[in-house]
Amino acid sequence: MAADTTDTAAGAATGGDTLAHIEAGLDALETSTEPESGRLRQVAASVLPPIVVLALIVAVWQLLYAAKIWPDWKLPGPSEVFSSLKDTFSGGDAWGAVGHSIGHGAVGFGASVALGTPLGILVGRYKAVRSGLGPILSGLQSLPSVAWVPPALMFFGPTPAMLYTVVLLGAVPSIAVGVMSGLDQVPPIYLRVGHNIGARGLASVRHVLLPAALPGYLAGLRQGWAFAWRSLLASEIIVQSASLGHSLGFLLKNSQDANDMSGAFAAIVLILAVGVAVNQLLFAPLERRVLKARGLA
Amino acid sequence: MTATVETSAPPGTVTSATGTAPAAVRLSGVGKTFAGGAPVLDGIDLTVAPGEFVCLLGASGCGKSTLLNLVADLDAPSSGTVEVPSGRAALMFQESALFPWLTAGENIDLALRLRGLSRRRDRQAETERLLDLVRLRGAYDKRPHQLSGGMRQRVALARALAQDTPVLLMDEPFAALDAITRDVLHEELIRLWEATGLAVLFVTHNVREAVRLGQRVVLLSSRPGRVAQQWEVDIPQPRRIEDKAVADLSVEITDHLRKEISRHGR
């Protein structure tokens, strides 16, 4: 029967044209017509709440300061910290310190990504590697990376190599675990479809596995950056040397040595600001874009 | 063409196809047992002729999906042989399983690329043609989540056609759709089948759907899945699911299906 009608596509119950119209109608009805909210509105919705919360924190801080529960040198007021911040910037220390730390952070994080990604793929893909390395990676993740500072210092001396070692030990496990969980969460049906349409071996990894694991990977990167930044600051605060230069950690430690509480707060504000900025300017938009394209956000 | 089709013989007299007839899919004595479990499929003899539309019907636990996985080469039989002379069979699921990181057009494009169409221009033209075929012209840049369930299944169908295999395996592809959309897609599928001459092996638990679509309906028993009985559907296409002839045969098949199911309640 099929052979007779193979060449003539016509002859559907409602006729080809009518069917096309019904389909077009269904498509139109079932496609969402929800308007996208304005860009300005979106920005306002994401920027306003944190500003309000920040203002509240400063207000409470000012109240505590005005109540004079603690002396000035224990709890400086917001205005003192602000002027201390201004001094650091006008003295030229701030930009140098921020630049120094971000530079170290970027190199350390980059190296962590380069190492953590293939490691995560190995652990995620091969059962034997996973049962061997999985628990060690999880253990490393829970170990405070500051613990690595003393041995790294003894091994490398107060050099950048010591900084990077601590950063790598902090960030690589986190990124590898991120990759691993990203791979775990790939719906098996994608792999079956991929296999069916001809994605085998490396092609399957490239066309199916990696893109499917991307959201989990990005979450892992974000967490990896947080670990890298923390590890870096821990080493910078503990270890100072000429070859490490004037970093944010140095700024903070210096304030402690000078018993300058507003200087210490100013340094912490800077460290926080860098962490928030990297997250909000780099990772958050990237993640949002990826999730939105997949209809997940 | 109809040489391999068994007539609607009384129960238990199913004869297997002769070995010499051309086949798009041929299963001989296929059994499947998963580690430590009872057999899921047992002694399945089933031949799908080139261009034939066969519906595979059964209750839960009849191993319909397992059988499709065997034909799609996603799993290997424990006994017997599965032959797909063309080497490959395209596969569709209940979910469209379109890749959400690609647009509708890119999903089709990937299938073409993996099929070995290396020139971008060729792929572009072929993707357009396939989208046109499933009447989704202009949906190239749409993401899967921006499409309705019925549209996603049409894109999935286009992707399956992009594989350019003579065999299409469908695993309850319309089960998650509303009745109106399903009805339209039935018609669409028959239109495409007639236009392409594909052999279709269509798995469903919906008797009416099986009779609406198939040239032949194969009823599987459950636990283990065996071919219980087959019916040739002589009702000419275009059929409608509301047709009296479709309803009458559905009643007959449903009675058999119920008998199969009630065996398990005792």
Hey, CA dihedral for B232, B235, B239, B244, is it positive or negative?
negative
- CATH number, domain of B191, equals 3.40.50.300
The DSSP annotation for B20-50 comes to TS--SEEEEEEEEE-TTS-EEEEEEEEEE-T
**Best residue of A21, A197, A209 to probe chain B, by most B CBs closer than 10 Å:** A197
The pLDDT-based confidence of A45 (bands split at 50, 70, 90) is confident
The pLDDT-based confidence of A14 (bands split at 50, 70, 90) is low
Q: Take residue B88 and report the two structure tokens written for it.
A: 């490959």
- Type of residue at A271: I
Mean pLDDT throughout A240-245? 82
Q: Indicate the CATH number of A92-293 among 3.20.20.70, 1.10.3720.10, 1.10.8.60, 3.90.180.10.
A: 1.10.3720.10
B174 and B57 within one domain = yes
**A31-40, A69-78, B227-236: least confidently modelled range:** A31-40
Nearest to B240 among A1, A13, A27 (CB): A13
Residue B119 lies in domain: 98-164
The pLDDT-based confidence of A40 (bands split at 50, 70, 90) is confident
Looking at residue A50, its pLDDT comes to 85
- Type of residue at A174: S
In whole angstroms, give the CA distance from residue B90 to residue B161: 7
Using CA atoms, how far residue A10 sits from A14, A229, B69, B135, B166, in Å, is 10, 66, 32, 15, 20
Partner-chain contact B238 A12, CB within 8 Å: yes
Q: Is A158 helix (H, G, I), strand (E, B) or coil?
A: coil
Partner-chain contact A8 B194, CB within 8 Å: yes
Asked, for residue B16, whether it belongs to a domain, the answer is no
- Type of residue at B176: A
Looking at residue B20, its pLDDT comes to 61
B153 and B51 within one domain = no
Tell me which residues of chain B, numbers 4 to 43, contact chain A at a CB-CB cutoff of 8 Å: none
Tell whether B129 is within 8 A of chain A (Cβ): no
Tell whether A18 is within 8 A of chain B (Cβ): no
List CB contacts (< 8 A) between B68 and chain A: none
Q: What percent of chain A has pLDDT over 70?
A: 93
The sheet carrying B216-220 orders its strands as B90-92, B167-171, B199-204, B53-57, B216-220, B227-232
Looking at residue A16, its pLDDT comes to 62
List CB contacts (< 8 A) between B95 and chain A: 189
B50, with CB counted inside 10 A (0-12, 13-18, 19+), is buried
Average pLDDT over chain A reads 86
**CA torsion, points B57, B58, B62, B65, in degrees to nearest 10?**
40
**pLDDT averaged over consecutive 10-residue blocks of chain B (266 residues)?**
40 45 89 86 92 89 85 90 89 91 95 92 93 90 91 94 93 90 91 92 92 93 84 89 90 90 77
Domain count within chain B: 2
Residue partners of B110: CB distance under 8 A and separation at least 6: A197, A199, A207, B99, B102
Tell whether A274 is within 8 A of chain B (Cβ): no
Residue A221 contacts residue A178 (beta carbons within 8 Å): yes
The enclosing H or E element of B227 equals strand B227-232
Looking at residue B156, its pLDDT comes to 95
Tell whether B3 is within 8 A of chain A (Cβ): no
Tell me which residue has tokens 């990237």. Answer: A286
CB pairs below 8 Å between A and B: how many? Answer: 127
List CB contacts (< 8 A) between B100 and chain A: 293-296
